[in-house]
Each structure stands twice: as C-alpha cells, then as structure tokens.
Copies of this chain bind each other. A is one copy, B any other.
Amino acid sequence: MLSVSIVGGSGYVGGELLRLLLGHPHVEVRQVTSERLAGQYVYSTHPNLRGRTELRYSPQSSLEPCDVLILALPHSSAAKNIEHYAGLGQAIIDCSADFRLRDPEAYSRWYGEKHPAPHWLERFVYGLPELYREQIRSTRYVSGVGCNATAINLALLPLVKAGLIDQTKPVVAEVKVGSSEAGAVANDGSHHAERSGVVRSFAPVGHRHTAEIMQAHGLENVHISITSVEMVRGALATCHVFTQGSVNERDLWRAYRAAAAEQPFLRIVHDRSGLHRHPEPKILAGSNYADIGWALDEATGRVVALCALDNLMKGAAGAAIQCLNLMHGFEETVGLEFTGLHPV
C-alpha cells in the first residue's frame, strides 16, 4: 500500500482527492491537513464521505513522512515551501499553478511576480498524461493542470497533432465554467442569490491559463475567455480554429481517432443524431473523462473544437490520481472508474 497524504484537504480539490483515494485499492490515506479545521472529522466539510472514513484533519505542523504528498493549496503556497514538502513526501503532486510553467519568465509574465523557487520548475513534469505520459512515469514531481487549460488543451490536441491549424489566424477559446472552480471559500460574488443563474464574463481577457496552452501546444496566437454559468462542476471549452488547407469530416475523424487512441480518458463525441451530439460537462460530474468533439463549417474552414470535463476531476484531482497511477506503475485508470451519471 502506498501511503498518501493530502495537504489542503478541506478544499474542493482536496475533498475530491480524498474521495478518490479512499476508493483506491493500492493507497492508504495517511493524513489530510487543514489549519482551520484541525481536529475535525473530514466529513464535517465533505459530507459525502460520512460513513466512509473516520479520518480527522491534521495541522500541517504534524505532517509525517509518506510515499506521496499531494498539495491542494492556494496559489504560491506550494512554491514557497517546496523544500519542506520535498522532505516529507517521496513524491509530490502539486495541484496548484506553482510548478506548471517550465519557464520562469513566463511565470513572472503571467503571475506578476518572480517564482519563489525557480530551480524547482525543471524538476516538475506537467501532469497531462495525454502529452507527457512517459515523463510522468519516470518522475517524482508532477504539477497539476489548470482546469480551463486542460479543457482547451484537450480540445485542440487532435488538431495540433494533425497539423491542421492555420496559425496565422487567431485561435479563440471560450470556456464556460461552474462555480466550484473558485474553491470552497465564500465571497460576495459566490453568494447564491448573485451567482445563481448567471452568464457572467469572468475573465474575458488575460486569463493565466493561456500560458499553459502556449507551453503545451506551442501556439502563440491563442486567445481565451472564461464565462461563469449556472453549474457547480464542469467546464466546456469551445475553441474556434481555422484550418490550413481544406479539411473535411473524414479528415477530422482521422485526427480525432489518432489523438484519442490509447488515451483511456479521452472519448470522441460527435454524433449525427440524438441529444448528445457534442461533448457536455453535466454527464461528466465525478468522472475522469474528457469528452472531445468538433463541428466543421466547410464554407469558411472554421472548426469548433470542443472539450467537456469535470474541473475537479480531469481538471484537477482526477488528473492527479491518473499521474499517481502512472508514477507508481499502477493501471492508469485504477480508482477512476466512475463513469458519470445520466440523467443528472
């Protein structure tokens, strides 16, 4: 049994990690930290876990060594204490943005401050198995992924791999997101009467995840925009791409099949009939699938590349466990079997 501890276990990513790890056959959850709630049962904040565990939150000060330490802390907390965490965990998976970018310059540009531990950046592998599976298998340090970045990266993956994108034209990506992306802490904007039913431009320009897309795909001319909608979990990326040369449905089927082959969590959704012709986030709540698909406007050469996922799963905790599996030679899908619900 692998011993795993979660730092920042009272948050939404932390709770999802805990749910997954409690059901993971090769893992024993050692400790779960929260400063605010130290001593409380974890199900006081994660009510779905009532009856599943008698674990209580520990403060970080009582953390013990373990095989894997998973960090689910706010921005910059991991980077500031990375030496300390590296002394506790044989391996580290950090869900924050702290170690996602390889280039310290890019970090400064997008995060507006110098990276606190720049020499650690090269030790981390970006935790997107669809791009970096082999590197993940052989590293001890994995960074998590941005949830919106992942939706866009996976939406674009087939087109990038197949070289179909006309990079002289802008790639415009609109992501529609749920409220859990913002984490568990209440604020004025998350007050139900204000947040409920919105279609709210949350980050129409300037979203930091742009850097992860540039890094992953080498695209320069990419423009993203995030809109909050009525949903708790889930994200849908709608990416507008113009192709080079003329492209037809069969070309796209080929590109998508090539990209999804051997990827246990990529499903192609592109149906000619029925209600579910395109990827949709709601049926993915709790599942680690990323559903990908497209629509083609032959007249203009525009491809609308789509990806739906659960931001707390494939966009955070699920991706982390997928990496944990790869790092330890487990079946890539173990502990991630839940297929999602319908209707829901």
Contacts and interface: CB of A to CB of B under 8 A. Distances in A.
B49 A339 contact: yes
A131 interface: no
Interface string A27-59: 000000000000000001111111110000000
Residue among A47, A179, A187 with the highest chain B CB neighbour number at 10 A: A47
A152 interface: no
A236 interface: yes
Interface stretch (A70-78, A87-95, A197-205): A197-205
Contacts of A190: 186, 190-193
A223 interface: yes
In order of increasing CB-CB distance, the 6 nearest A-B pairs are: A204-B295, A205-B297, A193-B343, A192-B195, A230-B230, A186-B191
8 contacts: A44-B274, A48-B287, A49-B339, A192-B195, A194-B275, A196-B196, A285-B344, A286-B286
Interface of A: 12, 15, 19, 22-23, 44-52, 169-170, 172, 174, 176, 178-180, 184-201, 204-206, 223, 225, 227, 229-234, 236, 238, 240, 242, 267, 269, 271, 273-283, 285-287, 289, 291, 295-297, 300, 302, 304, 306, 308, 337-344
